[in-house]
Structure formats: structure tokens, C-alpha cells
Amino acid sequence: MNKYPVNRIFYNSKDYDAFGTMLRVADVEEKLLEPGSFSGSANIVLTPNIIVGNFKINKKVYQVGTGAPGYITFPIWDPSVFFNYRKYDMKKGTMGVLWKNEHQSVTGAGFNGLPISVKESYFKEMCQNVGYPELFEKLKKREVLHVSEFHLEQIRKLVKFVTQRVEQDDIVIYELMEKKLIELLMNCLLEAFPNKTDEDSTYPKFVKIIDYINDNLSDITSIYQVCNKVNIPERTLRRLINKKYDLSPKSYINYLRLNEVRKILKSNSDNSAIFQIVSEFNFWHMGQFSKDYKNLFGELPSETLSNCNV
């Protein structure tokens, strides 16, 4: 039996659907929020107690998924590209905390995600070792942490090193992940408590807006309707979505709808059902719909159906 078990997964694709299928293995679903050619890569390294990833995506996407069962995951990323996690604007000196509950995020074009997942039992042991056993329970109450940017940068560099597409010695990778990475992570977390930071006062309003849009996507007929339902002025709604996602509300809703239509088309072989499907999401001008669909996905709706029937 290998004393230093290390597994590596390297994956590259210019096919949005294939890349999405690979991510769904990890219970993550993506929706494109930007047109143009797609490319993505995923380098993943696993040891008995740690999983680290190095994900790169060239387009703005919406992601939804859950944490790995039995693990606590810390979403870390390269801060040169924007990252809105659980509707929080992630900036330098911030990192996420993900348990078994669902997460939603929007990542900018050129996003480089560097998540770290630690087996819960191992993480509990590490908390005991540093004399802070209650840290485990405290983290369950947090979604975002404000930490040392210096420590975060050390973590980023280490994750990028161990996920290189180069056959590093297993012993070296094992030691770096199971010992050095955990040491850096614990130092980062210990600095985050008991400090408290003021939450963005606009956050509750933004949550109401995004939750309503996602829960009522097929029923929304206008921005005014959203404003009326969440009781937030249109100017505020436009400003918040534009600030958080760098998209207009109309574009954000339209992109999400197009992704939902595509998902249904890929599971439906009836060409005659296209109009019925798109009308359910309030697309009534078929010419404009087809143009927007091809602009986002690089193919017509009929081509999506044909490709699924091959």
C-alpha cells in the first residue's frame, strides 16, 4: 500500500457542455452569462484528507452546487477577477466557507478558482491540535471570512504549485498538502476570529432580488415586476445587479433563461416543441431568441436538438 497516496486529475475542454458534464460529477452546474467561444480547465489533486483544485474558465458564468460530502470547502480564487459568492462581493482578504448546503456564485471571465476541501474529521483534529476546538463549530455559522491577504497569497501559490501539470514527487505533494497547506490554512483561520467586520448594508436587498429572480425565472415579464415583488426601487435594483455582476438586470435574467431553455432542449428530441419551451420562459420573438441563443452558445436551438439526437 502506498504510504503517500496522491491522485491527479487534469482536464481541458473547449466544449462548454463537456466541461459542464465534468463539473456535474462534483455536483456543480454552470450557466453561461457571456457569449463567445468557451474554454475551461480543471487540475485536481487528492490526498487522503485534502482535495485542492485549480479551475480556469474564460467566460463569465453562474455556478450552483453543494460542498463535497464529508468535507469542509474553502473557496479561494485569484483576486484579479471578480467573484460574487453567496451574493457577497469577494475581494482581497476574503475567503468562502462551504459545508453541505447549496452555494451560488457568479465568476468573471478569466476566473481562476483555487478551492481547498478538507475532510471534516481531519479538520476537527487540526482544530484540537492548535488548541481551538470550538473553531469547527464557529465556522459552521459563517459563509465568508475576512482573513490575512498575505496568508491567502501563500495558500494560492502553494495550490498552484501542487496542481501544476507536472509529475511532482508524491512524497513532496503529500507533505505539502497534508502538512504545509493545513498549517497555512489554520494560520489564516485563526486570524479571522474573533474579529468581526461590518456586513455590506446593501446585501439583504441584493439577496431578495437574486432569490426572487432565481425562484421565479419563468414567470418574470418585466424588471418592474421584480421591483414590485421585492419592494425595491428600480434604480436600486439596476445599480445592485450592475455593481455585483457587471450586467444589466435584463441581460442577467435573459442569460439565465437561455441556459434553462438549453437544458430542456438537450433533454427533448421534439423539434416541434421549441416554441412551446421558449414561450414558457417568456421568449415571444423567435428571431431575437434564436439570435440571442446563438450569440451565447455558438449554435442555433435547432442545432442543439440535432446534436442531442445524433
Residue 307 has pLDDT above 80, yes or no: no
* Residue 2: predicted pLDDT: 63
**Range(s) of the domain holding residue 297:** 203-309
Q: Which residue, 170, 192, 214, sits at the end of a domain?
A: 192
- The residues near 21 (Cβ < 8 Å, ≥ 6 apart) are none
Residue with more model confidence, 75 or 22? 75
120 plus 216 within the same structural domain: no
Q: What pTM, to 2 d.p., does this model score?
A: 0.81
Residue with more model confidence, 95 or 133? 95
* Residue 25: predicted pLDDT: 64
23 plus 140 within the same structural domain: yes
| Residues paired with residue 154 on neighbouring β-strands, in sequence order | none
96 plus 122 within the same structural domain: yes
Angle at 83 between CA 95 and CA 18, to 5 degrees: 110
Q: 210: pLDDT confidence band, cut at 50, 70 and 90? A: very high
Residue 72 has pLDDT above 70, yes or no: yes
Q: pLDDT for 106-129, tens place per residue?
A: 999 999 999 999 999 999 998 888
* Other Cβ atoms within 10 Å of 77 Cβ, number: 24
The whole-chain average pLDDT of the chain stands at: 87
Please state at what angle helix 286-297 crosses helix 249-266, rounded to 10 degrees. 90
Q: Give the single-character DSSP code of 48.
A: S
Q: Which residue, 148, 168, 192, sits at the end of a domain?
A: 192
Q: pLDDT for 247-257, tens place per residue?
A: 999 999 999 99
E-state strands within the chain:
7-13, 28-32, 40-46, 50-57, 61-66, 71-74, 83-85, 88-90, 94-96, 102-107, 111-113, 116-119, 144-146
Instruction: Please count the structural domains in the chain.
Output: 2
CA diameter of the chain: 65
CATH of the domain at 64: 2.60.120.10
* Residue 108: predicted pLDDT: 93
Residue 269 has pLDDT above 90, yes or no: no
* Residue 271: predicted pLDDT: 63
Q: pLDDT for 76-117, tens place per residue?
A: 999 999 999 988 999 899 999 988 777 889 999 999 999 999
Residue 209 has pLDDT above 80, yes or no: yes
